[in-house]
Structure 1
């Protein structure tokens, strides 16, 4: 029996667009704080606000983006979001004060929130149900690759070619994302007919979130607390323990392990269910975090990167797949928005809390105690979803019959 196609023109186009969106995100994530300190005469708190303001805007915009997608369609919201990202990217040359920069970051964050919601929804619809875990795994890989290439490219361009070239490259990536988005050809549906057939929604906060996706999103947010400390402080920690050269390879090893493991983990998710993938992934994440806390050599430091990449890099798209599968097909946009918004909230809170904690206990102790937090996550996952893994498969079958 032939498998339904995964690597269609639409899937390739949306994957490239997602890759470019996340390259620009991580590209600016590491360079703008430096730019704020050196060129805008900002302080450490203001430099931190550059990231916080962006994430707040993304979190606030995602629930509305999910509703807009349901009303006007996925493609119009996607292109509107990519155009917003492109316009914001073109404006980074002009702010000469922290206030102006923070306003621009807020606007940029709105576009990012809309874009990631639209892309996640389109991906979920394009992937055949029988290959959902595999397809979402490759989608997650584009995020991870953006996380690796973005900081490396950003810091290299900034240090060797200056900030003007840095902003130019960022704008070029945003334009390329639009071009990739234009490759997508989604089936056109009558919006008026669709809205007439659907029952009218009540207003309020529940209309902005997909309730079925909240428990698994809280699991992702819990792990996002620890993941934020790795993203934010691993380079500083490497310098602290005398492994500066190894630091530049940390996320490269992370990505290579993902590339090698993704073809297997996604298929196993589809074949055996979520628990077979999630529990080992959490354990790998915990072991990797522990090895990071006791690293005394480049080998151990990079081994921790491999295990964290295999663990969290596999768990994140798997948890998102669960959030999408739990929701009715017509609410996938809202489920995607709910998942990403709650995860970003956990990530942002983690950056803030661990940023304060690390000054008192140091990076090694932070990662050591974070290991126990990851292990606690096993129980969090079990009680919020893991014990109900079987009904998820039944839910997918019901949705297939309904569609």
Structure 2
């Protein structure tokens, strides 16, 4: 058996720590934002809390992918974390509906840049045989941030004014940047930053090699957008005081399974793991739809977290498998465009279907289940090498 070097290097572990802080930074404010927006008279715009964030993230992905391939992974990561810092400081200053919505759009540029750089950096330093496992471990730290952020944010909001929550978010982003400065750049042939790099050609926007995994991701994360938008209100509806509890439970439940899913996909392939993940997502959405108590909702959070923990590192590894090394940033950016589109559209559709009417909760989550079902059906027609089966009705993405 060929020796595979350990990927647990100092740089990898520092990247994981920075990732934890970055995801904590922007996630800690999410559970409190619907109520905060409503307090300013913007209750009808709840669907835009996530959708504006994901819109700007999606729009910035082609640029972050190109820049990651041209000027380096680390500058792209630092820029995204810097946006988190600035946004955190501005929320208390722009405390009106228009200003808030503008900041949600601005804040989205953070996830449009930093995760692209993180994924490309991991792919650069990890051997092929350990790719799924390493991405599972890195995403575990991201998930820890997503779990710790809402839990800490929910606690801060119950003890201090919400402005303290925004300042804590900004401070956490600064810590992430300080760690990124310590890392060594992995891009070998770098270019200087110039305005010409911001001119995108048609072929630089989407990497065709990774269209299939990107579509699967879009269909799965529609449920994520639904959860981010509706669960805070649904939690209150069921009498749960801490609106971040569901987020903490689902994220914690995804932690251990990320390593197992990544290792399993390295051994048996990406497609089988994703089929199971999409089925669990369907079950999670149906369970939420019929939840009538705190215990049932938290059980559904476990199912939801399991699905997220399985598909997140597996899709990322699948995308890297299909991409060319010189276009790795572009391929990962394409994946993240699908991610943001799925979350954003899920947020808009769920907000529209909900319309602040509790009797519509059932419809919202069953709609999300339908999207996850479509992902499973698509995966049934996928080959083990990550492409669609060749038949007259299936496009060739190779």
- TM-score surpassing 0.5? yes
For the pair 1:292 / 2:264, whether they are aligned, the reply is: no
SS of the aligned residue for 2:28 comes to helix
SS of the aligned residue for 1:191 comes to coil
Residues 85 and 108 of structure 1 are in contact (CA less than 8 Å); yes or no, is this contact kept in structure 2? yes
Residues 246 and 301 of structure 1 are in contact (CA less than 8 Å); yes or no, is this contact kept in structure 2? no
Which digits, 9 at most, give the CA deviation of each residue in 1:256-275, with x for residues without a partner? 33233233222111111112
| 2:82 equivalent in structure 1 | 83
Q: Relative to 1, partners in 2 of residues 1:110 and 1:216: Cα closer, same or farther, differing over 3 Å?
A: same
Residues 246 and 298 of structure 1 are in contact (CA less than 8 Å); yes or no, is this contact kept in structure 2? no
Residues 221 and 343 of structure 1 are in contact (CA less than 8 Å); yes or no, is this contact kept in structure 2? yes
Which digits, 9 at most, give the CA deviation of each residue in 1:37-68, with x for residues without a partner? 33xx3422445434333222211111011111
| 1:118 equivalent in structure 2 | 117
Gaps of 5+ in 1: 194-199, 393-403
Gaps of 5+ in 2: 389-398
Take 1:179 and 1:265, find their aligned partners in 2: how far apart are those partners? 31
Q: Relative to 1, partners in 2 of residues 1:213 and 1:27: Cα closer, same or farther, differing over 3 Å?
A: same
Take 2:101 and 2:226, find their aligned partners in 1: how far apart are those partners? 23
| 2:227 equivalent in structure 1 | 230
CA apart distance, 1:132: 0.8
TM-score scaled by structure 1?
Answer: 0.85
CA apart distance, 1:229: 1.6
Q: Select the residue among 374, 377, 380 that pairs with 2:375.
A: 377
Residues 77 and 118 of structure 2 are in contact (CA less than 8 Å); yes or no, is this contact kept in structure 1? yes
Q: CA RMSD in A?
A: 2.7
| 1:396 equivalent in structure 2 | none
Residues 66 and 337 of structure 1 are in contact (CA less than 8 Å); yes or no, is this contact kept in structure 2? yes
Residues 246 and 302 of structure 1 are in contact (CA less than 8 Å); yes or no, is this contact kept in structure 2? no
Please identify, of 85-94 and 306-315, the stretch whose mean Cα deviation from structure 2 is larger. Answer: 85-94
Q: Relative to 1, partners in 2 of residues 1:281 and 1:162: Cα closer, same or farther, differing over 3 Å?
A: same
| 1:58 equivalent in structure 2 | 57
The structure whose residues are more often helix, as a share, is 1
Which digits, 9 at most, give the CA deviation of each residue in 1:117-142, with x for residues without a partner? 11221122222211111111122223
Take 2:68 and 2:299, find their aligned partners in 1: how far apart are those partners? 42
SS of the aligned residue for 2:93 comes to coil
Which digits, 9 at most, give the CA deviation of each residue in 1:285-316, with x for residues without a partner? 22222222223444433322222211232112
TM-score scaled by structure 2?
Answer: 0.86
| 1:367 equivalent in structure 2 | 365
CA apart distance, 1:333: 0.7
| 1:105 equivalent in structure 2 | 104
Please identify, of 265-274 and 50-59, the stretch whose mean Cα deviation from structure 2 is larger. Answer: 50-59
